[in-house]
Amino acid sequence: MGDAPRETLLTKLRDGTCVLIRPVTPADKPLLREGFTRLSEESRYRRFMRPVKELSEADLDYLTRIDYTTHMAWVAVDPESPDHPGLGVARYIQFPHDPKVAEVAITVVDSHQGRGLGTILLSLITRSAVQQGIEVFVAHVLMQNTPMLKLFQELGGTVTLDDPGVVAVRMPLPRRVEDLPDSPAGKVFREVARGFAR
């Protein structure tokens, strides 16, 4: 396990709510455990594609003991209460047999869905992946998860039917800010890039 990058991003959601986003560390087990309890059954199913009642200790170890290279994750927290439950997490896991490809997953607690946090988290995890030489994200998304499918498609992702009710997403990663599409999600990605350039 490597050292966590020291970068953080303090930003605002569409409704003006401030969030602090930083790399996940092993100390975040309680945040992730408690954040998981704030996911509705539907949100849990969208993320894991099966019913999950709680995260086991082994799950939490896997989700927090990461190497920041082949497995990277960012967590969003309330800057006024940074030790309280996480508001969202983005992660990628690089394919060992194809290091230019990684599986990506985004989770946002129900109270913060529809406010732009998922897009911000995807921009951060994309930035981390590009820095590691990853060129493509893949994801399996439930067909009814239209906000996530729309987000991937806005960024140039293609979708194909995988299993009944599940689509496979393949999204080439933008190497430069100039490569981003002129879309609402592309605009958010550019704003996040500017936030790190300051």
Q: What's 33's domain CATH number?
A: 3.40.630.30
Domain count, the chain: 1
> Does residue 125 lie within any of the structural domains?
yes
| Selection from 134, 105, 122, 124 nearest residue 32 by Cα | 105
> Does residue 95 lie within any of the structural domains?
yes
What's the confidence (pLDDT) of residue 48? 76
| Selection from 118, 100, 128, 132 nearest residue 19 by Cα | 118
> Does residue 145 lie within any of the structural domains?
no
**Class of residue 91 by CB neighbours under 10 A (exposed 0-12, middle 13-18, buried 19+):** buried
Q: How far is Cα 171 from Cα 157, in angstroms, rounded to an integer? A: 4
> What is residue 81's three-state secondary structure?
coil
With cut-offs at 50, 70 and 90, classify the pLDDT of residue 54. Answer: confident
pTM of the shown model = 0.91
Q: Is the confidence at residue 13, as pLDDT, over 90? A: yes
Instruction: Find the mean pLDDT for residues 145-160.
Output: 93
Range of the domain at 187: 9-134+176-197
Question: Cα 109 from chain centroid?
Answer: 12
> Does residue 3 lie within any of the structural domains?
no
> Does residue 75 lie within any of the structural domains?
yes
What's the confidence (pLDDT) of residue 62? 93
Q: What mean pLDDT is reported for the chain?
A: 90
